[in-house]
Amino acid sequence: MKIPFSPPYINEDIINEVADSLRSGWITTGPKVKALEAEIKKYSGAQEVLCVNSWTSGAIMMLRWLGIQEGDEVIVPAYTYSATALAVYHAGGTPVMVDTTEDFNISVEGIRKAITSKTKAILPVDIAGFPCDYDEIMELVNSSEVKGLFKASSPVQEKLGRILVLNDAAHSLGATYTDGIKTGSETDVAVFSLHAVKNVTTAEGGAICLNMPAPFDNEALYGELRQMSLNCQTKDAFSKSKAGGWRYDITGFGMKINMADVNAAIGLAQMRIYPELLRERKRVFNVYNDAFSTEGWASVPPAVVKGKESSYHLYALRIKGISEEQRDLIIDEIAKTGVAVNVHFIPMPMLTFFKEKGFKIEDYPQAYNNFKCEISLPIYPQLTQEELDYIIKAVKDAYNTVVK
């Protein structure tokens, strides 16, 4: 049996939505992008939502909007995909890495210790779709001690008067925080990824959720950022294409990161059925939990803890007491059965680019401990019970072959 790791969910409604975009004669940014923004805004509870061409470009733009300058620091977890820190470099800032806790997410105490007068933003990451401790993070940045340490280096930072919290919500569309608050509405800014392997996809894409506090006007900010995502051009291509609408201006130093309608069509059709897709992901997650929670060697990932609930994006299984080498051998054994698994993530300090920047994995022991024994199992709505039984047997057999 061949079981892929993370194929996109595509049905006839999704195909028809894309075909409708193609037949319309308009395939770049237009009405379907606006419709997708409205769907994500309604679902997440965000004040405003702007769709762009990737999580990475969205995060870079928001950090540039914040006014990040050389020497400004942005706190990120050591255990995440490289884009989190690379966005900081692209924006002109310096990433400061913090270790994680056993639930994979960034340590709030680590954040506290890492804050300096140069800290301008914090990028917590909802690893596997499980939310970080945002009550504590927001309380921290709003505390008199931390606000007293804050030194603005741009007009936006001066207006905010504290450290910005930008949630890397790449994995967590559909996750909930305390009191049923949806991810996307719990921090100043959150950015979802709509990449091909995510819960909702536009093939490539991202969605910026805006919840800036007063005196910011999120509706006005949406307009500013939409223009910034189009090279700060005063008219988008859809408006320019109308008879007599050719004249435009460039009002600033923007980026070209807009989403196209033909991409938005995929996500639009998926968002309309996302509650159903999310239930199916939870079904798969729970089947794995039932199978592995009784195994003494298995550590199952967090799903529902203290009012927080995952988006069930990844099933990050950890195997107790094994080395990185044993984990790799287990993956090799699983691969022999035709089941594709993955690892999330290689901690950034283990990657060449970041090692050359001076980061050392020895400084992030929990991140390494999470990584060395982690195996991500397939989790998507299309998986049948027969396929799940096959995957579970493949994992257990592989463990017994390598470890026992």
Active site residues: 198
Query: Do residues 166 and 188 lie in contact, with contact meaning Cβ atoms separated by under 8 Å?
Result: yes
Select from 377, 367, 403 the least CA-distant residue to 98.
367
Query: Do residues 61 and 224 lie in contact, with contact meaning Cβ atoms separated by under 8 Å?
Result: no
Residues 6+ away with beta carbon under 8 Å from 222:
48, 49, 50, 210
CB-facing half-sphere around the CA of 382: CA atoms within 13 A = 11
| β 298-299/308-309 pair status | unpaired
> Which helix (H) or strand (E) is 2 found in, with range?
none
Select from 212, 119, 202, 214 the least CA-distant residue to 167.
212
DSSP output for 58-87: HHHHHHHHHT--TT-EEEEESSS-THHHHH
Burial class (CB in 10 A: 0-12, 13-18, 19+), 138: middle
DSSP output for 161-202: -S-EEEEE-TT-TT-B-GGGPBTTSSSSEEEEE--TTSSS--
DSSP output for 99-148: -B-TTSSBPHHHHHHH--TTEEEE--B-GGG----HHHHHHHHTSHHHHH
Q: Using omega within 30 degrees of 0 as the cis cutoff, is the peptide bond preceding 381 cis?
A: no
Residues 6+ away with beta carbon under 8 Å from 404:
none
CA distance 298 to 321: 10
- Backbone phi, psi, residue 168, to 5°: -75, 90
